Amino acid sequence: MAGSQSMEILSKVLENQMMETAKMVEEQLDSELCKLEKMDDDELEKLKERRLEALKKAQKQKQEWLSKGHGEYMEIPSEKDFFQEVKDSKNVVCHFYKDSTFRCKIMDKHLTILAKKHLETKFIKLNVEKAPFLTERLRVKVIPTLALVKDGKTKDYVVGFTDLGNTDEFTTEILEWRLGCSEIINYSGNLMEPPIQGQKPKSKFTKVEKKTIRGRGYESDSDDDN
């Protein structure tokens, strides 16, 4: 009986909270409508002009990004091209990969999706075997590695799948969250918690920290490097 009463009380509390939330939203909408109703024609025209100007600015920015290769996940042919790519764009994600590492193909799949979604960032890939100087300079050892470059400077790295739940079956949303943590993309979700829905119970997330990869040569993050 006591349990039933507790559930009934909890139900009423939740109902009251929902009603209060709905009331607040309704009041906010009423307030905005009231402001619009009180505006004269000149004020409304100025509001329309500001919104139109904002739309034009956003469209211009989008076209500029597209002209610089944003929106598509592409491979650059050599390490010389890397410096021009990061010079042209404020935010760049570069995937250092090897053809023989199957986890690089997993990373490719997710980066292709994110490149189309986040036009504000350029997504590229570079074969480490064609970039000995650059991989040595950036101390890339584990493959795959993502170098996150902002304003021409390497800000952070995503090394293997450690930050992505230690599983080959991580979701695109997990990688998106991880990139958002480094502010290399405009992330609209909650950075305090990874979107773990759909992850296997055994998946574990490590604390996201900026890191430097030491050592020479390359180590695959794959158990099967055929």
Q: Tell me: the pLDDT tens digits for 2-39?
A: 556 666 666 666 767 777 777 777 777 777 776 666 67
Sign of CA dihedral 157, 159, 165, 170: positive
The CATH code of domain 69-220 reads: 3.40.30.10
Kindly report the pTM of this predicted structure. 0.68
Specify the 3-state DSSP secondary structure of 105.
helix
Q: Do the Cβ atoms of 114 and 123 come closer than 8 Å?
A: yes
Task: List all residues 6 or more positions away from 111 whose beta carbon is below 8 Å from its beta carbon.
Answer: 73, 93, 95, 123, 125, 175
Strands 153-159 and 145-150, sheet pairing: antiparallel
Tell me the pLDDT tens digit for each residue of 105-114: 999 999 999 9
Q: Confidence class of residue 54 from pLDDT cuts 50, 70 and 90?
A: confident
Tell me the pLDDT tens digit for each residue of 168-219: 999 999 999 999 999 999 999 899 888 865 544 444 555 454 443 333 345 5
Q: Do the Cβ atoms of 205 and 196 come closer than 8 Å?
A: yes
Six token digits for residue 167: 């599983």
Every domain range in the chain assigned CATH 3.40.30.10: 69-220
Q: Please report the pLDDT score of residue 96 as a whole number.
A: 98
